[in-house]
Amino acid sequence: MAATAATQVRRSPVPIVWGPELTVEAIGTFALIFFGAGSIIATGGNNLTVIGLAHGLAIAVMVAATGHISGGAFNPAVTLALAIARKLTLLKAVAYVLAQLIGALVAALLLKAVFPAGAIDAVALGTPAVGSAFSVSNAFVAEIIATFFLAYVIFGVAIDKRGATTIAGLAIGLAITMDIYATGPISGAAMNPARWFGPAVIHWQFDNLWVWIIGPAIGAAAAATLYFYALMGGAHADHAAS
């Protein structure tokens, strides 16, 4: 999430129309699902290093490429966090989420066009799932924690101008990779409702769907509240950053 865009409060008096911001949000989310879920299909879900790097690199390069246009959320949970921190209006946040979900669906559809049915079925099109050795509650807590640290890093390197804004994309991508290494076997480490949504809808896989919707939302909201309002001082930080 590029600091130049993410630190701006976006308040538009006119209705949101499809434009560059929504286009890059859809494309960035497409990249995450296509290359992230694609790495799961390609490896049969058996190479956590490849899977973690594919997800992290996808977001890192998309943030670097177009974060200056939209802020580089590519994630409904992160979009919620930005809305909580008043970096997006409610209307624009809803538009971002719709664009992200569209990007996720198109990516999942094209994964089905690229990979053979057997490889897709073996990993349910890369849909996040509760690990066989873990409970649903384990996965839910893992999604909260993983998403908290993803959003926490985003605020630290992209929202807070005192942070390492020049390497925001790299830091955010590494946070995703770190989270996947630790929690991938537990919950699939989605940290992103769109990451679950695209493959789940196209493969029609809805088991425990609330884990990948509510878990990331709670984690991102907690990180936004802590970092923006406690560590940055909320409204005062907005004034100081302008």
Answer whether residue 231 is part of any domain. yes
Encode pLDDT of 57-88 as tens digits.
999 999 999 999 999 999 999 999 999 999 99
Answer whether residue 143 is part of any domain. yes
The percent of residues in the chain predicted with pLDDT above 70, rounded, is: 90
pLDDT surpassing 70 at residue 30: yes
According to the model, what pLDDT value does residue 146 have? 98
Answer whether residue 4 is part of any domain. no
Answer whether residue 53 is part of any domain. yes
Answer whether residue 148 is part of any domain. yes
For residues 127 and 203, the answer to whether their CB atoms sit within 8 Å is yes
Average pLDDT taken over every residue of the chain: 92
Rounded to an integer, what distance in angstroms lies between the CA atom of residue 203 and that of residue 32? Answer: 17
pLDDT band for position 13 (cuts 50, 70, 90): very low
Tokens of 111: 């994964």
Number of domains into which the chain is organized: 1
Answer whether residue 2 is part of any domain. no
According to the model, what pLDDT value does residue 234 have? 82
Encode pLDDT of 196-226 as tens digits.
999 999 999 999 999 999 999 999 999 999 9
According to the model, what pLDDT value does residue 54 have? 98
- In angstroms, the first-to-last Cα distance of the chain is 18
Give the structural domain span for 104. 18-241
CATH number at residue 64: 1.20.1080.10
pLDDT surpassing 50 at residue 12: no
Question: Cα-flanking dihedrals φ and ψ of residue 191, to 5°?
Answer: 60, 15
Answer whether residue 111 is part of any domain. yes
Burial 42-78 (b: 16+ CB within 10 A, else e): bbebeebeebbbbbbbbbbbbbbbbbbbbbbbbbbbb
- Name the H helices within 71-167: 76-84, 90-114, 117-122, 136-154
Answer whether residue 5 is part of any domain. no
pLDDT surpassing 60 at residue 149: yes
Encode pLDDT of 154-179 as tens digits.
999 999 989 899 999 999 999 999 99
What's the pTM? 0.89
Find the mean pLDDT for residues 39-56.
98
